[in-house]
Amino acid sequence: MSFYFETIKTQNRARAGVFHTPHGDLLTPVFAPVGTQATVKAVPPRDLHEIGVSLVLSNTYHLYLRPGDDLVRDMGGLHEFMRWDGPMLTDSGGFQVFSLAKINRIDDEGVTFRSHLDGSKHRFTPELSIAIQENLGADIIMCFDQCPIPTDRAIVEPAVQRTINWAARCRDAHPDMGVQALFGIQQGGIFEDLRERCSEALRPLDFPGYAIGGLAVGESKPDMYHTLDTCVPMLPDDKPRYLMGVGAPDDLVQAVVRGVDIFDCVLPTRIARHGAAFTPDGTINMANLAHARDTSPVDPECDCYCCTHFTRAYIRHLVKAKELLAHYLLSVHNIRFLIRLMDSLRAAILQDQLPEVADRFLQRYLQTA
């Protein structure tokens, strides 16, 4: 099989595993930076390799609109187009359709919407989402789903049924898992019974992996953690579990403890563009005057290019001067911070030390929150 998941070690509900793909093995738990438009903002593939990135996510909706999935296919697919030779994942475009576009109509067949770029009219169906992702050529592709407001049951309940129906259609449209692994997406908001209903419908479809959608989109952190407590065990033990769109360091730790394997998020590069940096002592604003004459690195414990070559004083200067180098250096650092965090959590599971390592990290990281 081209795709298969091995659990190497478990500790309580957490697990260290390997997801084998045609473009390489993913050692889990793993974090993927987001390359929305076939690029991780400000960071070239060479540097992604250098800082230990093994998986990159790109976005179906954006690439469909520009430059077009047919063009990407004709250029050899995403791997060749953006010159990333490791595993890749594309989302279905569903989240962006519902969050960015002007929706004209949602029905059981699909979604009619207008582009956020030029107002042009488009229609996404489960079958079209799969066809676009097949053109893009990522290793892992996602079912088209409806991602609702997670706390409004009146909205969540019909969205769950639509997600279930669309998952079956995606499975029919993509029966061969040899080249691309299609993941199902569990929806249900913060409602345990709806999560269970969705999971029961998805399990017989025997996807190579399962995602948890509809979290970190407006609910409180306690609600998200409680939902993970209940919804992660609903997914198959022998398949990877992917929590979509979550990237805050404390959330990553909490989710790994609860048994999640794969993560992605725009957060490390987004906050970098606003002059912020992850550190073990919390997220810091590099524009603050306190850093003006600070000769220490952003994070003395970090081994990235930013932290081994430059001072906080210099990074602050770049941020204040709005120099593009600030975006690059802080993006490299923030991504490397999350990669190192994932590596430490995996090592802790392998050594039966996860509760101690997780508690120590959270106490320090949240002390100034």
**pLDDT value of position 251:** 98
Query: Which residues lie below 8 Å from residue 3, measured CB to CB, with a gap of 6+?
Result: 19, 20, 21, 22, 139, 177, 181, 208, 209
The 8-class DSSP code of residue 137 comes to T
144-153, 162-171, 294-303: the lowest-pLDDT one? 144-153
Element (H, E) at 185: strand 181-186
What average pLDDT does the segment 237-266 reach? 98
What average pLDDT does the segment 237-261 reach? 98
Q: What is the pLDDT of residues 61-105, one digit of tens each?
A: 999 999 999 999 999 999 999 999 999 999 999 889 888 878 888
Q: How many CA atoms lie less than 13 Å away from 273 in the CB half-sphere?
A: 8
What average pLDDT does the segment 239-243 reach? 98
Q: Which of 77, 61, 70, 78 is nearest to 117 (CA)?
A: 61
170 pLDDT more than 90: yes
**pLDDT value of position 368:** 64
- Residues with catalytic roles: 91, 264
pLDDT confidence bin for 149, thresholds 50/70/90: confident
Looking at residue 253, its amino acid is V
What average pLDDT does the segment 339-347 reach? 98
Q: Tokens representing 166? A: 């669309």
**pLDDT value of position 289:** 98
Q: Measure the CA–CA gap between 170 and 183, rounded to whole angstroms.
A: 10
Q: Tokens representing 352? A: 């039966």
Q: What is the pLDDT of residues 298-332, one digit of tens each?
A: 999 999 999 999 999 999 999 999 999 999 999 99
Q: What is the pLDDT of residues 44-65, one digit of tens each?
A: 999 999 999 999 999 999 999 9
Indicate the angle between helix axes 192-202 and 221-231, nearest 10 degrees.
40
Q: Measure the CA–CA gap between 363 and 88, rounded to whole angstroms.
A: 33
Indicate the angle between helix axes 153-173 and 126-136, nearest 10 degrees.
60
369 pLDDT more than 90: no
Q: Which of 276, 281, 241 is nearest to 261 (CA)?
A: 241
pTM: 0.97
Catalogue all structural domains in the chain, each as residue range(s) with its CATH number.
4-265 (3.20.20.105), 267-369 (no CATH)
Taking the CA atoms of residue 131, residue 64, residue 110 and residue 208 in that order, the dihedral angle to the nearest 10 degrees is 50
**pLDDT value of position 275:** 98
Higher pLDDT, 106 or 295: 295
Q: Tokens representing 292? A: 């003006």
The 8-class DSSP code of residue 141 comes to E
Residue with tokens 């690439």: 63
Q: What is the pLDDT of residues 100-133, one digit of tens each?
A: 878 888 999 999 999 999 999 999 999 999 999 9
Angstrom CA distances, 327 to 269, 280, 315, stand at 8, 20, 10
Q: What is the pLDDT of residues 5-38, one digit of tens each?
A: 999 999 999 999 999 999 999 999 999 999 999 9
Q: Tokens representing 321? A: 């001067």
**pLDDT value of position 98:** 82
Q: Measure the CA–CA gap between 53 and 49, rounded to whole angstroms.
A: 6
Q: Measure the CA–CA gap between 89 and 181, rounded to whole angstroms.
A: 9
The alpha-helical segments, DSSP class H, found in the chain are 45-50, 60-65, 69-74, 78-82, 94-99, 126-136, 153-173, 192-202, 221-231, 249-257, 267-273, 305-309, 312-320, 324-350, 354-365
1 pLDDT more than 80: no
**pLDDT value of position 132:** 98
Q: Which of 83, 118, 84 is nearest to 101 (CA)?
A: 118
Q: Measure the CA–CA gap between 28 and 13, rounded to whole angstroms.
A: 14
Judge whether 47 and 332 are in contact, CB under 8 Å: yes
Q: What is the arrangement of strands in the sheet containing 111-114, beginning at the earlier edge strand?
A: 102-106, 111-114, 121-124
